[in-house]
Structure formats: C-alpha cells, structure tokens
Structure 1
Amino acid sequence: MRKMKLGSSSLEVPVISVGCMRINSLEKPAAERFVQTAIEHGANFFDHADIYGGGSCEEIFADAVSMSDDVREKMILQSKCGIRDGMFDFSKEHILHSVDGILKRLNTDYLDILLLHRPDTLVEPEEVAEAFDQLESAGKVRHFGVSNQNPMQIELLKKYVKQPIVANQLQLSITNTTMMDSGFNVNMENDAAVNRDGSILDYCRLHDITIQPWSPFQYGFFEGVFLNNEKFPELNQKINEIAVKYEVSNTTIAIAWILRHPAKMQPVIGTTNEERLKDCIKASEINLTREEWYSIYRAAGNVLP
C-alpha cells in the first residue's frame, strides 16, 4: 500500500483509510478476518467515531483484533467526537469525556488522530484549545483534525488551538464534486459556479490539511451508490471502459479517480466486504491519466465551461 504524510505532521499513513462505521454488522469471526485482511494489505489506518453504532463499533473492533500493545503498534487509529443527542458539542467537558470513552472502547491508551465531528456553531474555541492541550499533554491524542468544516471555521479554531489541524473529512465522490465545480466555473452564471464551501479544496491544499473524502461511492446524501446504477449509464460505461484497460474492477477506478487529484487525499472506505476492500486497496497502484480523469468527471454529468 502506498503511503503519504498526513497533513503537516510527520505521520506516515496509507493513502486509504478503512472506515469502521458498519463493522457492527459483522459477526466476530468475520470482523476478525476483515481487519486482518486490511492489515495484511497495508491498510492499517482505521477510522472510527464515538457515535458509530452508539459506540459499539469501537468495542467490536477492539475485540476483533484482540487489542494489545503489540497489536496496537501495527495500526493507526483515528476517531471523532462532537455529535450527541441531536446536537453538536465542542465543549471542553464533552471532548474530554468523549475521548475517555473512545479509549476505553478501543482498549488503547491513545489515539493517533482525533477529529471534531461536524461544526458546532456554539463552539468556544478557547475550550477546544484547552481540551486539545490536556489530551496532548496526557498522551491521549497525538494529532488533531476536523470534519466537514469550511475555511473560516478552521481559521477560528486555529486562532486558539496551537496543534496543527492535520485532516478534514469532507464528502466527495465522482458524483459529489461541489468542492471542485466552482473552481471550474469562476465568474460564471450557472449553479456550478456557486461556492458552497469557501473554497475548502484550495484552502486545505494551501494549509497542508489532508482531505479525507467520505462516502466515495455515494451519490447525493446517502441516496445510494453510483456504481452499476442504471441512473448513471454514461458514467458506468466510462468507468468500466477504463477498468478493462487497467484490468481492475470499477470499484478500483472510482477510488483511483480520487487518488489522482494532486491534493493527496485519503479516501475513507466504508465497505465491510473483504474482496471490495482489496479492490479499493488496488487503487493505490493506479495512476489515471489527465484525459481519463476528465472523461470520468464529464461522464458524471459535469459540464466544463
């Protein structure tokens, strides 16, 4: 598995993150095989959140790997906090309490990365800074990031938080490309020109923040997958055509399309299927041409000016 630096940190990570949101759908033997398959293929970066399965996903993961110091050294663990009870909460008290719960469920002493999960408009950044300092000094969290935040929200945090923001999880797939569309349509009178995120793609590149695309196979907001979907005939035809050329699956090409972007993104894969996971991992070996990348973008229904 090809590796990359995470944001401005010195942490080397696989170019693909294994999302564990659905691991609670697996029985223990299947969960064990899935995690072991990921590690054997170099995909040892696992993404969690305290709300996934009400916390059960973290417990199931720790049980599946029989967490110990030796096992822990072989993996990179990331989790998220800040969503609770129908609201968002970035208070110092909640962040500290959440991390303690995460560590207990994962049966580990530390997280490699903690992300704030979706923006909290009631955030008091001074409290976030205090929480991050306390977590870092206690050795409970080594790196910090955010999820679904725009540039000004990150700037507000950075005014008080001394630790670098190393990652930002954002929705991105071949059919969800708003962070790219407005950059193609500057000063144009069309819907694609609407800047909906404050130029977050360019901002993250400028500030060495790794974008972690979530739902890389979804269209809309969890409406379904676009691969092999009759709603996207032209797109699937183009993806399949390129997949034949590289002798890989359409799953591999969908992830390779994200990895081809020079922003050096780290897609979060949500599958619990071992074979599909292997197909995703193969994407790290594929480097699409510029012509192939743009042909897929256009096949998704995007019109270049």
Structure 2
Amino acid sequence: MARRGRHNPFIWTLVGISLAGLVLLTLPTVALLVRAFDARDVLSDVQARATLREALVLSLTTSLVSLALIVLAGIPIAYVLARGQFPGVRILDALVDLPIILPPAVAGIALLAAFGRRGLLGDSFDRFGVNIAFSTTAVIIAQVFVSAPFFIRTARAGFSRIDHSIEEAAADLGASPARVFWRITLPLSRASLIAGAVLAWARALGEFGATIMFAGNREGVTQTMPLAIYERFGAGDLETAVVLSAILLGTSVVFLVVVRLLGEPAIQRPA
C-alpha cells in the first residue's frame, strides 16, 4: 500500500501544492527577518528607539486591556448564543460577526459616528467634557470592536460542544447554575476560550484601519506599532519600518508560545 502511494501522481500533486503553499506562507516572514537583521543598526538612532519604545508599550498595554474587556464581555455573550432559545438569537448571532466583514475604514467611520464628538453617544459624553475620539480610549474601543467576534465565535463553539448531560448530572446532585457554570462549563470549554483569546489578542495587536480612522496617529497617545510602521513607511524610512515589523512579529510569537505553554497543561488536564 505504501509502495503504491509513492508512485501515485495524485499524492505527489498534493505534496507539491502543500510545499508551494508552505513556501508562500513562510517566505515573506523569512524575508522580513533577513531584511530586519541587515537594518538592525537603525536602532542606534535615539529617535527610532523612542518611537519603538512608545509604540510597543502602547500596543501591549491597549491590546491586553482590550483582551480583558473582550473576555469579560465575550464569555456571557458566547454562552447566550450557544444555549439561547429565545426569538432573535440568530439575528444576534449574525450581528456579532458584523465587525469581521466590515472594511477597516468603514469600521473606523462607524466608531466615529457612535463615539465621535458629534456622534450618537459622543455628543452626550462631550457635554461632560469627555472626548473619546482620537484618544488612547479610542484605540482600546477600536481593538475591542474588531477583535471581540474572534473570541466570541470560538468560545461559542466550545460551549456548543459540551455534553449537556454532564451539566444536568451536576445540577441533579444539587449544584447551583452558577456552580455548574464555574466548575463544569468553563473548565470543559477552556481550550476554546484560550484559542479565542489568542486570536482576539493577535487581532487587537495588529489592528490598523479602524484605529487610524477613529483614534488617529498621535505619537505616544494613539500611535500603536502598526501605525508607527505605517508612518515610517510613508516617510520613506523603509529600514525602520522593517525593523519595527520584525519586533512586532517577535512580540506576537513570544506571546503565542507563552500562552500555548501555559494553556496546554490546563487543556490536557482531565475534567
């Protein structure tokens, strides 16, 4: 059987397509790292280091705050979507996906229409001297808006896969609904929650379009790493843009590895 597979044109076609796909997916990253290594001397510039430090700190801070908000609000929403039997649950389910399909520029304009100084809610905030648009808060709101669907969708799938009989058995033994949720439902869906959190954080860290439209590109205030890369590229400073891109890539990889290492024991632990 193995010998037959070695000479099967279909198998070799699949192997060839797979290799071509892997090259396409990995080549840009390798090229970026090589180019960044050659341009590493740009970090000796004081201004470049200051830009990197401010943008990186702002990106990490806002993306982690956004992730916390997404998890806190996303778990109840995902649970309701997975278990809800009320009219309109399908409409609510579709609305959750809306930020995914919106073009980034449209998402930014929509946020301005809602929270801008003359927006639907922004006008009320403005009366109390609170201006959300073009602030660090706007960066967080933009990140939450575009990233939350990734967590909610993944968490919803995790809740839907849980065997209801396990929860019912716990309830029959006298466990309250809250205790069942905390001790049974959440642990059984832990893998999906971790996967959704990783996706949401990665999306928040790389958010660009809605942020630049809604929060602007103010250095030290709203200029995250993607916006700093865009600014350097627009100014013709490709070397700094490449180095910043490589650092952002490395930060993302480190975070993903840490989450995987911390999450795998919890995922593999028997319920």
Q: TM-score range by the shorter chain?
A: under 0.3
Name the structure where helix makes up a greater proportion of residues: 2
Q: What TM-score, normalized to structure 2?
A: 0.25
Name the structure where strand makes up a greater proportion of residues: 1
Q: What TM-score, normalized to structure 1?
A: 0.23
Higher CA-based Rg: 2
